[in-house]
A and B are shown apart, each in its own frame.
Chain A
Amino acid sequence: MTDRPLTKNIDLSRGALSLKEYVAAGGYAGARAIANGLEPSDVLERVKNSGLKGRGGAGFPTGLKWSFVPKSDDVSIQRYLVVNADEMEPGTFKDRMLMEGDPHLLIEGMIIAAYTIQATRAFIFLRGEYFDAERSIAKAIAEARDSGYLGRDIFGTGFDFDIVLHTSAGRYICGEETALLNALEGKRANPRAKPPFPQVSGLWGKPTIVNNVETLCNLPGILAYGVEWYQSLGSGGDFGTKLFGVSGRVNTPGCWELPFGVSIREVIEGYGGGMQEGYALKAFLPGGGSTDFLTPEHLDTPLTYTAIGELGSRLATGTMILLDDKTCPVGMIGNLMKFFAHESCGFCTPCRDGLPWVDTIFRDLESGKGSFKDIDVLKDHVGYLGPGRTFCALAPGATAPLGSGLRLFADEFAAHVSGAKCPYH
């Protein structure tokens, strides 16, 4: 038993555990539980009961997602498991740690997921810039294959399973699961219309489950130690642990595995070591670049999907980006808008044309050429680019820091216009 099922094997001062070391540390016990007679339906039931939610950002219940794969005893129907390892959300640095630090945990999680949905083949869609993770995973896959953990009749279950490691070439939209599937098929990575959902018609039209790296890394613990243990780890309606990170002007920025329900204050002031001398916390994005700003008055909120949601923001990736009092909030939001404008796939008009317009206005505000009318145009775009107005979630994600920032930092926005320059420099 452990209270750090995701990171217990991770020690960044040395390399990742080899397969032999991973097994010696209790690894592949979850996969062996399958070998001891667990049916796919048993695993699905356990994962459903565990309350595991997707860790890629949306927080959708994993077991429920899996249950949408059409049930069929026809094993000739190809099903696919796809790992979303395209970590590229601004301020997010959690999956990198798991992949570089303990690749066998991911592979074991993939075996469990693939067995449950009876997918004989999986693709890991890895961010192209993650060369260290690529090496780490490639080595682990080779070890697993050599030991018969991947390939034909794995663990004597009669189930065949193998993994292809696909490396991308840099494009944020590939993190959107249907765009990711188009990229894997060798097409431009524009998102697809839903429905049909990938669970029914995904990769090459076959039933496909796309899961985030951290989500899959939760599975070995759930099978090895049980649902009761898993649920004892979290509080506040969310179960298990989560990787929480802090970046910005704190004394010890980093990423830590902590139980759900830990307070924001504990993460920022405890693990993060508090703000650096001479800097005060002004606001923060709780879960990467696509979340609404929260402020110091929210520091005692527990980190759960529900509690952060009730504040009008999202837990999302759980990696917090801190804005300090010496950094311009307008500049910070402008930086995010530049990112979203650059990474728009260009398929739908509001996103393709709206985000560059927003980006241009931020450049004007920065250089002292902005007007009050420009600020109104920004406010309009929060609506134009919001949920339901665009083909996928990229532009609505951009409106989260934009809309909340316009409300919270109205004075700073106005000062950029009235002073015809950025008041921070």
Chain B
Amino acid sequence: MQQHVIASSSTNARLRARDLTAEEIAEIEHELTLYPTKQAVGLEALKIVQRHQGWVSDESMLAIADYLSVPVSELEGVATFFNLIFRRPVGDKVILFCDSVSCWIMGCDKVKKRLSEHLGIDYGETSAGGEYTLIPVPCLGDCDKAPVMMVGEKMHRNLSCESIDSLLPLSNAEGSK
């Protein structure tokens, strides 16, 4: 197996791959049965690790690259290409807030402002307690119920400032994803 090592510019420390967990390996192995090449499983493996770890750290990135025998640079190229692979830690729940055209016409900017006030964060930030990360997302494909957003895996539709007021305590009570 290749041993990839990358240098961190900030500390000059040499990072090493962490060990993938048995669960992660089992899920990646299942994906490997579905595709004819190891490379094809790259995105699936990133998603599997993210599901277990919350995000994809450098150490995880190295571990996946090793496991799939693909160059870490190529895997990083895939990871950074996709909007929903997180290379920084995120909150327990990620809020994907649709800011595309139909939601914009239906007043999503006001709703987003209220949401930001509630959480004390803007796009790309995580709330102080680590509960929520707020990210804009291109059209969520629910335009007849605009404005919409997704909290974890759940869609919230026909949003208004009032519905944000009533939704947020509710989501707090739901706990983590």
Specify which of B44, B77, B138 is in contact with A90 (CB 8 Å cutoff): B138
**Within the complex, what minimum Cβ distance (angstroms) separates A274 from chain B?**
15
In the complex, whether B168 has a CB less than 8 A from a CB of chain A is no
Contact between B101 and A93, CB atoms less than 8 A apart? no
Tell me the minimal C-beta distance from B141 to chain A in angstroms.
5
- The answer to whether B96 has its CB under 8 Å from any CB of chain A is yes
Taking the complex as formed, is B153 at the interface, i.e. its CB lies under 8 A from any CB of chain A? yes
Chain B contributes a number of interface residues (CB within 8 A of A) equal to 42
* In the complex, chain A residues whose CB is within 8 Å of the CB of B153: 131
B6 on interface, CB distance cutoff 8 Å: no
Interface 0/1 of B71-114, CB less than 8 Å to A:
00010011001111100000000001001111011100000000
A interface residues, how many (CB within 8 angstroms): 54
**Contact partners of A91 in chain B: CB under 8 A:** 100-102, 139, 143
State which of A169, A245, A254 has its C-beta within 8 Å of the C-beta of B82.
Answer: A169
Of residues 40 to 72 in B, which have CB atoms within 8 Å of A's CB atoms?
Answer: 40-44, 46-47, 70
Within the complex, the shortest CB–CB distance from B53 to chain A, in Å, comes to: 15
Residues of B within 8 Å of A92, CB to CB, are 139, 141, 143
Cα–Cα distance between A183 and B44 once the two chains are bound (Å): 11
Which chain B residues lie closer than 8 Å to A335 at the CB level? 99-101, 104
Number of A-B contacts (CB under 8 A): 132
CB distance from A23 to the nearest CB of B (A): 27
Contact with B along A164-200 (1 / 0, CB 8 A): 1011111110000000000111111100000000000
Task: Give the residue name and chain of the A residue nearest to B33 (CB).
Answer: A164
CA distance A171 to B82 in the complex (A): 6
A161 to B76, CA, bound (A): 33
**Contact partners of A111 in chain B: CB under 8 A:** none
Within 8 A of A (CB), among B1-51: 34-37, 39-44, 46-47
How many Å from the CB of B151 to the closest CB on chain A?
12
A185 contacts B104, C-beta separation under 8 Å = no
- Contact check, B143 vs A172: say whether CB atoms are below 8 A apart: no
Chain A 137-159 interface 0/1 with B at a Cβ cutoff of 8 Å (1 = within): 00000000000000000000000
A248 → chain B closest CB, angstroms = 5
Q: Is B115's CB within 8 Å of the partner chain A?
A: no
B47 and A167 form a contact (CB under 8 A): yes
Asked whether A58 is an interface residue with its Cβ less than 8 Å from the other chain, the reply is no
Q: B140 contacts the other chain (Cβ, under 8 Å)?
A: yes
CB pair A130–B101 under 8 Å, yes or no, is no
Given B42, B138, B150, which contacts A342 in the complex, CB threshold below 8 Å? B138
Q: Are A129 and B150 closer than 8 Å at their CB atoms?
A: yes
| In the complex, B159 has a CB within 8 A of chain A | no
Q: A92-B139, A96-B142, A204-B37 are in contact. Are A171 and B102 (CB under 8 A)?
A: no
* Docked CA distance A3–B109 (Å): 40
Which of chain A's residues has its CB closest to B140's CB? A129
Q: Mark B106-145, 1 if CB is under 8 A from A, else 0.
A: 1000000000000000000000000000000111111111
B104: shortest Cβ distance to chain A, in Å? Answer: 5
In whole angstroms, what is the CA distance A90 to B74 when docked? 29
Taken residue by residue from 91 to 132, chain A's Cβ proximity to chain B (1 for < 8 Å, 0 otherwise) reads as 111011000000000000000000000000000000111111
Name 21 interchain pairs, CB-CB below 8 A, sorted by A: A87-B141, A92-B141, A93-B143, A129-B137, A132-B155, A168-B82, A169-B43, A170-B82, A170-B84, A186-B35, A186-B43, A245-B143, A247-B146, A248-B105, A253-B144, A253-B145, A289-B100, A289-B139, A321-B143, A335-B100, A339-B139
Q: Which residues on B are within 8 Å of A, measured CB to CB? A: 34-37, 39-44, 46-47, 70, 74, 77-78, 81-85, 96, 99-102, 104-106, 137-146, 150, 153, 155
